[in-house]
Structure 1
Amino acid sequence: MKTQFRITMILATLWIALGPVHASENEVSKDQVPKTVLEAFEKSYPNAKEVEFEQGMIEGKTVYEIEYKENGREYEIMYDADGEILQKEESIDMETLPEPVAQAIAKAYPKATLEEAEKVMNPDGTVTGYEVEIMSEGKKFELQVDTYGKILKTEQN
């Protein structure tokens, strides 16, 4: 149990550390993305549609986020400049949010309407948490919630 807790805390810390890329992202064109990143993406996701590219910084290092659609779902894959995956996000249906996550949001924002949800994963597909957009009392918020239902970060949009 202690090992699982430590792993969860490490992943939560990593998730929070990776979060700032959203604040400093800039849209870029495909030809501005390194060849190593494009090759890694195109090899792994050959059926991707509506592909968009963004460049950001994490701890002084350049990262690239590629957003795309495939099989009716939206995805975001974050790569380092060498083409290694750092993080994945996949849109999910609101009703598939785990019970602890849904309960935490309902408790913190009882009048909220769920707008959008994504599961956040490590490169190996292990779920580390969820990003949920809500509307509460006329304001839009993005919440980062761990798999146990702890709200790690709240941003008002």
Structure 2
Amino acid sequence: MKNQYLMTAAFGALLIFGQVNADEDDLSKDQIPKAVISAFEKAYPNAKDVKFEKETFEGKEAYEVEYKEKDREYDLLYSADGTLLQKEEEINSKSLPEPVTQAINKMYPQAEIKEAEKLVKPDGTLAGYEVEIKTAGKKVELELDANGKILKTEND
């Protein structure tokens, strides 16, 4: 009976541990489609500290390549065939447009902006902003358009 209890507890712990790790989407370079690696390396041959993740973008599977260049952090989203879907560029939160900061302050008056990124479409046009805030002790990630309309909210 004691052995059965220990085995059940061990199995439960493995399930819980496995569930925590299942939410991790970090991947190694060899887990990324070759088309994604090829497109990235061709476009950004000097990239440093490269990391890979699997994500969902507009309801479809995508691969994020995170890298640093000239002390700035960038995230690129690619489809499995190597097509660039979006570029995220780290920016100083003070450079956010006024309508964006006003929208954040209106919705989250006590919020502190922790990170800000400019979202850029493959053609180079602005898609919007992604902002991580801390409010009431919780992290919240917001996606806003250039006019300050909140498009998406994710709570950590």
Q: Answer yes or no: same fold by TM over 0.5.
A: yes
- Structure 1 contact 25–57 (Cα < 8 Å) conserved: no
The answer to whether 1:136 aligns with 2:135 is yes
Matched with 2:94 is 95
**Cα shift readout 1:61-118 (whole Å, capped 9, x = no counterpart):** 5321101111111111011111110111011001100111011111111111110000
Summarize the alignment of residues 39-118 of structure 1 with structure 2, pairs less than 5 Å apart.
39-57=38-56, 61-118=60-117
RMSD: 1.7
Ranked by relative contact order (alpha carbons within 8 Å, sequence separation 6 or more), the top structure is 1
Structure 2 gaps, min length 5: 1-22
**Cα shift readout 1:118-146 (whole Å, capped 9, x = no counterpart):** 01111112111111011112121111111
Letter in 2 for 1:70: E
Matched with 2:120 is 121
The answer to whether 1:149 aligns with 2:148 is yes
Distance in 2 (CA, whole Å) between partners of 1:47 and 1:133 is: 27
Q: Secondary structure at the match of 1:104?
A: helix
How does the TM-score come out when normalised to structure 1?
Answer: 0.79
Query: How high is the sequence identity, in percent, across the aligned residues?
Result: 60
Task: List 4+ stretches of structure 1 deviating above 6 A.
Answer: none
Letter in 2 for 1:65: E
More divergent stretch after superposition (85-94 vs 52-61): 52-61
Distance in 2 (CA, whole Å) between partners of 1:61 and 1:46 is: 27
Q: Secondary structure at the match of 1:46?
A: coil
- Structure 1 contact 50–69 (Cα < 8 Å) conserved: yes
Structure 1 residues 87, 81: CA separation in 2 closer, same or farther (over 3 Å shift)? same
Letter in 2 for 1:130: Y
- How far is the alpha carbon of 1:56 from its aligned partner? 3.2
Letter in 2 for 1:40: A
How does the TM-score come out when normalised to structure 2?
Answer: 0.80
| Larger Rg computed on CA atoms | 2
Count of residues paired in the alignment: 134
